[in-house]
Chain A
Amino acid sequence: MRSFSLLLVCLTSFLGGCGSDDLPKTQDLASLRVLALTADLPEIGPGETATITPLLSDVNGIGRPLQYSVETCEDPGIPTGASVSCEGSSSRTTGSSGTAATLTAANAFTADGTSFSVTAPSSFLSSKSAVERYNGAILLVLYRVSASSFGGLPAESILSFRRILVTDRASALRNKNPVLSKVIQNGGSFEAVPPTGKTEVVAEYSSSSTETYSLYDTSGALQSAKEEILTSYFITDGELDFPRATSRPVTWTPPQAWPGQRAKALVTVGRDGRGGETHLITRFN
């Protein structure tokens, strides 16, 4: 029965979450991670270009060189179980490659990487119906960041992806990135030095960040909905009680002693659930 599948999925996930206390936590930055792939335009028209800026972290990487490569293709059907790959796709294109980022102790080994551009083919929507053109088709962007063996660390490679929505909607109707105004610490601004006690952290967005949008449903009716921004928090040190929140604050408990040999960082990433993304790195010395 469908309802029970849904129910069990939720509960299973919940119990899995409960039972994972001894597993690494998503909010703790240590290994090589892609934290965001922020596009300047999350929604574009056929033939248009979006510029994507990756947000990378490699705290345990001690500044090893990182390389990246990009390829794009039409979404092979990831929601219905297709592998995240452009292999075999007729729309596959290979994008730029090169040095991914320069991560140093001064930036807490967490920083924006090298930006790159992707362009939707002009014919991307030509075989689509009017509803599909309005709702949009997905241009899949695969971003791989790699590190060779370095300073005793093994070689490593991380594959990540994001979607660029390609539509024929008017520009005014297209999705825009939310704007993260600031990150608030215990009701005020962060100091230049890291917090010394338990700190409530919450992201503040501009009022225009939460957009109302419309999509055609399966019966062909135009339905409107409102975005809800989900904020992800990452830290290089200490403990966060929750990695994500919609509007509630999360609590950051600093470590007993802050590490002295590198900067410390709190990374805040906001997502609107439709590809719109924004992020802010708060660093402490």
Chain B
Amino acid sequence: MRFSILLGFAFLSPGAVAEVNPYGVLLEKGTRAPIAGANVFLLPSGKKALTGKGGHFRIEGDFIGPMEWIVSVTGYGKLKVTEQLESGTEIVDRTLYLERESYTAYETTIYGKGNQRDGALRKLRRSDFLTAPGSGGDPVKAVQDLPGINRPAPFSAQVLLQGSGPSDTRYSIDGHEVPLIFHFGGLSTVLFPEALDRVDVFSAGYGPERGRAGGGHISLWTKSPETDRTHGLAFVDTFNAGGLVEGKAGEKGKFLLSGRQSYIGSVLRAVLKDQDGFDLTVAPTYSDLTGIYETKLTERDDFRVTGVFSRDRLEFLLKQPLDTDPAIRGSFENETAYFRLIPQLEHRHSDATVSRWSLGMGRDWISVDFSDNYFKLKTWQLSTRGEVEHRSSETWKSYLGMDHRATHADVQILAPIFYEEGGIANPFSLGSKRTVSLSDDSVQLGFYGKGEWKPFSPDLTLMPGARVDWFQRTKEAIPVPRIAARWEASESTSYRAASGIYAQPPTEAQSDPTFGNPRIRSPLAYHAVLGVDRDFRGNASSGWVANLDGFYKFLDRQVVRSVTENYRNDGKGRVIGAYTQVRYEDGRWKSALAYTLSRSTRWRPGQKEYPFEYDQTHLLGLKGSVEFGRHWTLSSRIRYATGNPVTPVTGSVYDADNDVYVPTRGDFFSDRLPPFFQTDVRIDRRFIFDRWILSAYLDIQNLTNRRNPEGLAYSYDYRNQTRVSGLPVLPTFGLKGEF
């Protein structure tokens, strides 16, 4: 491996004295991270120096003639640089760059390790999602690959947690809820991946700090900006481009700014330009901006503020009405945008007490126009979170907190009441049109308390808790208990258990007097989960790590469609399942096998129990990566999932007023699509320069170009059907430069 000295020589007082005192700094090649505690040898003198903090070193002595710098550090390639030290040089300043053997930090999910305060929490760190094959470096797409997460529909902007529905998952950034986490159709997470520290997945049995979700929460946490120097990166790939810069801001502060802009619309326009009857006038385009500022106000107070802006836009024109539904015709425009400003303060009252306070302030703009229908929503959002953590003794720690949300919405709607049951929609033409124009205020209050108690031994932690939610819209105050336990049975084995009740407010549409039912109540979910984690590696760096989880959910008061009242709380459901992830790491090989076995069903009065729309009995995922030499990495993902249930259409009735057919549904979700199977491959190559790194990747989704059935399309009268396939083979090429 060839190394170079980037900075030139610094000759002071040329020709004054004969003695040379070389000094310099040892940095990691590419990242310029200082390497401390390394021995720097200068041969043939045999003299050496130990690098200090910041990588600085100095070698005292008289060095003239050919010299050789030698540095050897574990995890790095050996550095060997020769040069001629001239007589008359007093001081020589050297910057030595040491190349790491691997610049890929591939880690898989960490389960319940360390002092984790929520037994149902799974963390996905930046290094996990940036290199995960098939997810294109996207954090939430990587979450969709975790065991226990059902496979979503294509172009879906949702995470389906353990057999729960799409609307049962809440999304937040730095603890504050946001309306969407994916850009249009699940193309990309709304935050720049490198601006994130981690993604927390709170699934069945999650603690009382969070609520309002029957399934769980996906929490994105922004990173603390780097301050060792100014960092930056820029990338460009098939669909979008963007950049990020971070560094110091003043004496105490640090900052990060990032942004992305897509041009997928231009790509699609080129592809679809010959489509009869369809003009993609604008987009889909999306853009996002993220800003982070962090500072230490006092020795006891840390302050940070996060700003997030996201915008998605799509416009197209149907030159003629849609074959299957003439109500869908003309222009279609959709724009979704929001921003959040999230100031956060952490105050350390004492060694035993810490409090954390934060606000989420922002606006949402959602607009949909098609044909003569429209939906326009503008909201002001204010969410507040506060928590006091107090350690009373070695065996007891308590958390008291609040989690509120207030919304002011201005909404205008002209749209038909739309009916969909069993995954089959009636034609839009059928719905009677309604107009709504109103301003509405809505408040949701949440208070919680939780303890961490180690009653018998430091290895056993009990976490009793409770939460009270008040929903203004449904005028309900709902107290719910939560409890979790963890037992560290040995250095390598731990057991987890959690249970709780979860109340989720109905959607605005469900409780709306015009489109919904103002008497609707909040659905409830009862969770129980049991898990074990085992690290077979002992103290070795390679080996097996595994976990096994079982979960059960009972769903009550689920909101279902009603002919007379639009919606009712008549639905019930249950989910039972187990999942495991087995990970193996050995040198340059990393692999993870995830398997989920589950059954998710629903029922309502007068109907037999039927599979849930996303009930997938088997979910199998195999991910692996291997690092070749010279910074080549090959990774792959193979996925198998049982096909989604579908409702058979048993006939149809012709609506002569609208020239459409109304489907007649058979038993709900009594058929299934064939299984889903897909192989993705990603090849990464890093080019390490002294002061920056260039990465190139090729990510190929659906390598075998398998036509995975994702749904059914019907003929105009529903007598014939055909399968709708998902994405064909989709290669994505990208370049990223970082310094």
Which A residues form the contact surface with B (CB < 8 A)? 1-7, 9-20, 22-26, 31, 33-34, 36-37, 76-84, 143, 158-163, 217-219, 223, 228, 230, 232, 241-246, 248, 250, 269, 271, 273, 275, 277
CB-CB under 8 A for A3 and B368, given A17-B323, A23-B715, A245-B320: yes
Q: Could you tell me if A80 and B419 are in contact, using CB atoms closer than 8 angstroms?
A: yes
Q: Which B residue's beta carbon lies closest to that of A160? A: B654
Q: Could you tell me if B720 and A24 are in contact, using CB atoms closer than 8 angstroms?
A: yes
CB-CB under 8 A for A24 and B657, given A81-B561, A223-B435: no
By a CB distance below 8 angstroms, the chain A residues around B610 are none
Among B325-333, B620-628, B678-686, which stretch is in contact with chain A?
B325-333
Q: Is B437 an interface residue (CB 8 A)?
A: yes
Which B residues form the contact surface with A (CB < 8 A)? 155, 157, 179-180, 185, 275-278, 314, 318-326, 328-330, 332, 334, 336, 366-368, 370, 372-373, 375, 377, 413, 415-421, 425-426, 428, 430-432, 434-437, 507-509, 514, 561-564, 566, 653-659, 662, 664, 711, 713-717, 719-722, 724-725
CB-CB under 8 A for A158 and B654, given A6-B368, A24-B716, A26-B716: yes
Q: Could you tell me if B367 and A26 are in contact, using CB atoms closer than 8 angstroms?
A: no
CB-CB under 8 A for A7 and B713, given A1-B180, A80-B566: no
By a CB distance below 8 angstroms, the chain B residues around A230 are 321, 326, 329, 659
Q: Could you tell me if A269 and B659 are in contact, using CB atoms closer than 8 angstroms?
A: yes
A227 CB → nearest B CB, Å: 11
Q: Could you tell me if A25 and B375 are in contact, using CB atoms closer than 8 angstroms?
A: no
Lowest 9 CB-CB distances: which A-B pairs, in order?
A26-B716, A160-B654, A37-B656, A242-B320, A23-B715, A16-B713, A81-B419, A79-B432, A162-B656
By a CB distance below 8 angstroms, the chain A residues around B320 are 242, 244-245, 248, 250
By a CB distance below 8 angstroms, the chain A residues around B436 are 218
- A13–B429 alpha-carbon span in the complex (Å): 13
Q: Which B residue's beta carbon lies closest to that of A78? A: B430
By a CB distance below 8 angstroms, the chain A residues around B716 are 23-26, 243
By a CB distance below 8 angstroms, the chain B residues around A158 are 654
A-B contact pairs, 8 of them (CB 8 A): A2-B375, A20-B324, A24-B719, A25-B323, A81-B563, A160-B656, A219-B435, A246-B329
Q: Could you tell me if B657 and A277 are in contact, using CB atoms closer than 8 angstroms?
A: yes
Report which of A22, A250, A275 forms a contact with B657, defined as CB distance below 8 A: A275
Q: Which A residue's beta carbon lies closest to that of B436? A: A218
By a CB distance below 8 angstroms, the chain B residues around A24 are 715-717, 719-720
CB-CB under 8 A for A16 and B714, given A81-B561, A162-B657, A244-B659: yes
B647 CB → nearest A CB, Å: 14
B724 CB → nearest A CB, Å: 5
CB-CB under 8 A for A218 and B332, given A6-B415, A26-B716: no
Q: Could you tell me if B656 and A218 are in contact, using CB atoms closer than 8 angstroms?
A: no
- A20–B322 alpha-carbon span in the complex (Å): 12
CB-CB under 8 A for A34 and B654, given A17-B324, A23-B713, A77-B563: yes
By a CB distance below 8 angstroms, the chain B residues around A34 are 654, 656
By a CB distance below 8 angstroms, the chain A residues around B564 are 77, 80
A99 CB → nearest B CB, Å: 20
Q: Could you tell me if B653 and A36 are in contact, using CB atoms closer than 8 angstroms?
A: no
CB-CB under 8 A for A16 and B656, given A3-B367, A4-B157, A79-B432: no
- A242–B276 alpha-carbon span in the complex (Å): 10
- A83–B330 alpha-carbon span in the complex (Å): 29
A67 CB → nearest B CB, Å: 17
Q: Could you tell me if A2 and B509 are in contact, using CB atoms closer than 8 angstroms?
A: yes
- A230–B180 alpha-carbon span in the complex (Å): 36
Q: Could you tell me if B416 and A79 are in contact, using CB atoms closer than 8 angstroms?
A: yes
B143 CB → nearest A CB, Å: 19
By a CB distance below 8 angstroms, the chain A residues around B662 are 78, 84
Q: Could you tell me if B368 and A79 are in contact, using CB atoms closer than 8 angstroms?
A: no
B367 CB → nearest A CB, Å: 7
By a CB distance below 8 angstroms, the chain A residues around B507 are 1-2
B418 CB → nearest A CB, Å: 7
- A241–B323 alpha-carbon span in the complex (Å): 10
Q: Could you tell me if B656 and A232 are in contact, using CB atoms closer than 8 angstroms?
A: no
- A20–B719 alpha-carbon span in the complex (Å): 13
Q: Could you tell me if B655 and A14 are in contact, using CB atoms closer than 8 angstroms?
A: no
Q: Could you tell me if A163 and B657 are in contact, using CB atoms closer than 8 angstroms?
A: yes
Q: Could you tell me if B653 and A13 are in contact, using CB atoms closer than 8 angstroms?
A: no
**Known contacts A7-B334, A13-B322, A244-B321; 12 further A-B pairs (Cβ under 8 A):** A4-B336, A12-B425, A13-B425, A14-B328, A17-B324, A25-B323, A26-B659, A160-B654, A161-B655, A219-B435, A230-B321, A275-B657
- A228–B377 alpha-carbon span in the complex (Å): 27
- A12–B185 alpha-carbon span in the complex (Å): 11
- A4–B314 alpha-carbon span in the complex (Å): 12
Q: Which A residue's beta carbon lies closest to that of B510? A: A2
- A192–B44 alpha-carbon span in the complex (Å): 106
Q: Which B residue's beta carbon lies closest to that of A1? A: B179
Q: Could you tell me if B509 and A243 are in contact, using CB atoms closer than 8 angstroms?
A: no
A258 CB → nearest B CB, Å: 24
- A146–B514 alpha-carbon span in the complex (Å): 39
- A243–B325 alpha-carbon span in the complex (Å): 11
Report which of A2, A20, A218, A246 forms a contact with B323, defined as CB distance below 8 A: A20
By a CB distance below 8 angstroms, the chain B residues around A244 are 320-321, 323, 326, 329, 659
A38 CB → nearest B CB, Å: 8
- A122–B597 alpha-carbon span in the complex (Å): 60
- A166–B324 alpha-carbon span in the complex (Å): 28
A47 CB → nearest B CB, Å: 22
